Chains A and B, each alone.
Chain A
Amino acid sequence: MLFLATTLDGLQMGLCFAVLALGVYISCSILDFADLSVDGVFPLGGVCCTIMMLRLGLPALPAVLLCFPLGMLCGAVTGVLHVKFRISNLLSGIIVMTALLSVTLALTQFLTGTGYTTTIFSFRSADLTGLFNGALTSALTDRFGRGAKDYITIVILLVIVFIAKLLLDLFFKTRLGYLLRATGSNEKLVMTLGKNSGSYKIFGLALADGFVAVSGALYAQLYTQYDNTCGSGKVVLALASVIIGTAVFAHFRRMKDTTAVILGAILYSLCLNYLVLIDTNGIYLKLLNAVLFALILIFNEKISAFLSRIRRKKEQMQHG
């Protein structure tokens, strides 16, 4: 029973972080830009979504979607710092991240109205008529019992992730998408096409952080609470998802990178959740975390060597 609950929780987390991983995939893999602003944009998405819902009374879906342009704005700032003012990519990300930490803190204060006596801000789940607690959910819960809520949450998240993936895939087939891919791997070519590669870099970073903010918004709703520290470590988590996804699922040649990244995020989150079962005190969690990450990559290397050996043998048999 505990195992099932852990699995469901891991799936929800994984799907939520899949959106984040898609964003980091754009900045890290497509644009070859290590964007550290993620750690700041993620909580910003969470707090802004919460404010829009609780203070401005917006329904959940528009609140989540509005986080996208918000994230884009932050990404654009990172991009402008890097492209126009020639600050290195790591530093421009750190600058935006640091600034956003204060911004989110200030926004939290605005939300409570009593100042931030505690850094963790939480509220009753009944207040948050969010995506996962909506009318549909309650109707189905009535019918299938309390356990149904977890499955419904997963289905809703799946739909969101699937739409995000489809849109991104489609985008990368357009002319603008092509140019963005070219910007990441050969800026000089973009220039000889008569285009300013800097502008496209800024646009790409904006797009990436849009996804990150949406992921933060989903995260806040998933746990029906906003936590100011929820941003820390998100870059690492997302990068791990992207790397695991693209490495492990590279064996499936026809699989798209976006699918691999999503599966990577789910796989990694599931593993993280199972670790909690092993180490209930949570002291060695990070250590186990690191060991797991290393193990996945090492095993993956072995698997790919094994697969290529089989492939070679097959070819030899055919020729011989």
Chain B
Amino acid sequence: MVELKNIHKIFHGGTINEFCLFENFSLSVAKGEFVSVVGSNGSGKTTTLNIISGSLPINGGQVLLDGADITKMPEYRRYRRIGRVFQDPAVGTVPNMTILENLSMAENKGKPFNLRLAINRQKNERYCELVRRLGLGLEDKMQVPVGLLSGGQRQALSLLMSTMTPVDLLLLDEHTAALDPRTAEIIMELTDQIVREKKLTTIMVTHNLRYAVEYGTRLLMMDKGAVVLDQSGEEKKNLKTEDILQLFNQISIECGN
């Protein structure tokens, strides 16, 4: 589904701080895979997501989505086929618009934003039903501006919004990192449920090793712009948190963290 071919990525090119993160980095994610990516800070996890979504320019290589070369496609056009949830719950929603208004925009993704009325009663009921399934009591707050909701509620909404229309790929960028442990658990459960239900190809970056082990069909560990551990299928199922923690610590010590 997604393929990165021989990616070169240099930060601060041409200055004294020049730093080469990726050199001939390649990664391929098959259709329907749920990949969780772990690694220490600066290992290139989020950069990988940013390169796929086009938020960062690359110095060489190719990005393929469903076989088509999207290397030169601007960021906003890539998002027509990609859904993304960010670490900051405020980024995934519009704070001064109501839940209803936010959902109606998300549902209209891929269609023209023209002069037709954005919401009607029929839609209201459907959105209410969708929100009820989140189990957070948001169905009574449909007319409340999203800015007044808690971080967890907003993140649940972002997740719902980014998967409302059919997307080829879902990018989750440490989407539970800003939440308290209990809420993070709820959001993670919800993510798993949505991904399974819609059979989404997903790449999830996380700092929570346990989530990486428990959820998903494939696990990647990155370090200094390279994949150091890549396990899927039966291997992944037998993996334990302790095993990765050990490897993770090893890498971190080498880095001096």
Looking at the assembled complex, report how far the CB atom of A112 sits from the nearest CB atom of chain B, in whole angstroms: 41
B116 touching A194 by the CB < 8 A rule? no
Interface size class of B (residues with CB under 8 A): 20 to 34
Interface of B (DSSP majority class): loop
For A181, A186, A192, A196, the residue with the greatest tally of chain B CB atoms inside 10 Å of its CB is: A192
Cα distance A114–B115 when bound, in Å?
A: 46
A175 within 8 A of B: yes
Q: Which of A179, A182, A186, A192 contacts B84 (CB 8 A)?
A: A192
Q: Is the CB of A175 within 8 A of B114?
A: yes
Contact B97 A182 (CB under 8 A): yes
A179 neighbours in B (Cβ, 8 Å): 105, 113
Q: Which residues of A contact B113 (CB under 8 A)?
A: 175-176, 178-179, 195
Q: Quick one: which of A174, A177, A185, A190 contacts B96, CB cutoff 8 A?
A: A185
How far is A181 from B98 in the complex, measured between Cα atoms in Å?
A: 12
- Determine whether A56 belongs to the interface, using a CB cutoff of 8 Å to chain B: no
Q: How far is the CA of A173 from the CA of B114 in the complex (A)?
A: 11
Tell me whether A191 and B79 are in contact (CB under 8 A).
Answer: yes
Contact of A178 among B77, B92, B104, B162 (CB under 8 A): B104
Q: Are A174 and B94 in contact (CB under 8 A)?
A: no
Chain B: minimal CB distance from A91 (Å): 25
Indicate if the CB atoms of B114 and A185 lie closer than 8 Å: no
Give the interface size bracket for A toward B: 20 to 34
Give bound CA distance, A178 to B93, whole Å: 13
User: Of A174, A178, A192, A194, which contacts B97 at CB under 8 A?
Assistant: A178
Asked if A311 lies at the interface with its beta carbon under 8 angstroms from chain B, I say no
- State in angstroms the CA–CA spacing of A171 and B113 once bound together: 12
Closest beta carbon of chain A to B158's beta carbon, Å: 9
B108–A175 CB distance below 8 A: yes
Residues of chain A within 8 A (CB-CB) of B11 are none
A55 at the A/B interface (Cβ < 8 Å)? no
Given A181-B97, A185-B94, A188-B91, residue A193 in contact with residue B118 (CB < 8 A): no
Check: B95 CB closer than 8 A to any chain A CB. Answer: yes
Give Cα distance in the complex from A137 to B48, angstroms: 69
Residue of B whose beta carbon sits closest to that of A171: B115
Query: Which residues of chain B are near A177, meaning CB under 8 Å?
Result: 118
User: Among residues 61 to 85 in chain B, which have CB atoms less than 8 Å away from a CB atom of chain A?
Assistant: 74-77, 79-80, 83-84
Asked if B13 is at the interface of the complex by the 8 Å CB criterion, the answer is no
Which B residues have a C-beta under 8 Å from some C-beta of A?
A: 74-77, 79-80, 83-84, 86, 90-97, 101, 104-106, 108-110, 112-119, 162
